Amino acid sequence: MRVALIQMMVTADKGQNLRTACGRIREAAQNGADFAVLPEMFCCPYDNSCFAAYGEPEGGEVQTTLSALAAKLGIYLVGGSLPELAEGRIYNTSYVYGPDGRQIAKHRKAHLFDIDVQGGQRFRESDTLSPGNRITTFETAFGTMGLCICFDLRFEELARCMCLRGAKVLFVPAAFNMTTGPAHWELLFRQRAVDNQCFTVGVSPARDTRGPYVAYGNSIAVDPWGTVLCRAGAEETALYADLDMDRLEAVRAQLPILSARRTDLYEVRER
């Protein structure tokens, strides 16, 4: 299963962002990718002031373009995320399309990025965005996959629920910043892979130091043993990770973490 991690530069021009993404997706298909993955908020600057203006309702231009391209190329496409306008609200939403162009998954970011790090980054997604309320997995020819967005990955309960549903790979469009990225990016992707004995794939925008939000970049793929299969730097690039599902089964057989879970103990009780 070959996955293309598309780390692209995101500009203030929505049309140009979509053209860049489509060009990279075509290149991924030519290089034998079964999946192509875009970054979080790949079609607009990651800024609260932009989400409403760049957003679109279900079936909007960006979604129909990605759907048609997935069908034309015959690949699975994890469409990063974009601002979804629905129910009078704005959601940070990721759409997934199958090789026939059909939408096979939709995830609204469940945990909003509201942080205030002393001496570092301050950001409040909840000033404009609303949270989703579902755990997202979807079926493919390669098995069950999981999907979450950026800050969602920090919550082990969410990752574990995807894993217990059978997810073999956790796809994570994300945009860590220059405060949280150096500290936690690789750590979290390796940690979730080891804890859940699955592959993790994180795809970030490229770093633009002139933009309103400076993404860390460093798109990454990790195997169930915690080994980093590929990792980008800050630049615009496309990486390829070949995920061996036999490797996943071998790790689970050698270290029976999932099968040895003591669910009879995992409950907070009064002493």
Looking at the annotation, which residues are catalytic? 40, 109, 150
Burial of 96 (0-12, 13-18, 19+ CB in 10 A): buried
Distance CA 13, CA 93 (A): 19
The label of the residue with tokens 């907070």 reads: 268
**Residue 205 · residue 39 · CB < 8 Å:** yes
3-class DSSP state of 145? strand
**For the packed helices 14-30 and 61-73, what is the interaxial angle rounded to 10 degrees?**
10
Q: Which of 196, 209, 175, 213 lies closest to 257 in space, CA to CA?
A: 196
Please tell me the number of Cα atoms within 13 Å of 260 on its side-chain side. 8
Q: How far is CA 9 from the centre of its chain?
A: 16
**DSSP line for 44-102:** S-SSHHHHHHH-B-TT-HHHHHHHHHHHHHT-EEE---EEEEETTEEEEEEEEE-TTS-
Q: Where are the alpha helices (DSSP H) in 101-239?
A: 156-164, 180-196
Q: Please give the backbone phi and psi of residue 116, each rounded to the nearest 5 degrees, phi first.
A: -150, 90
What is the crossing angle of helices 180-196 and 156-164, to 10°?
Answer: 30
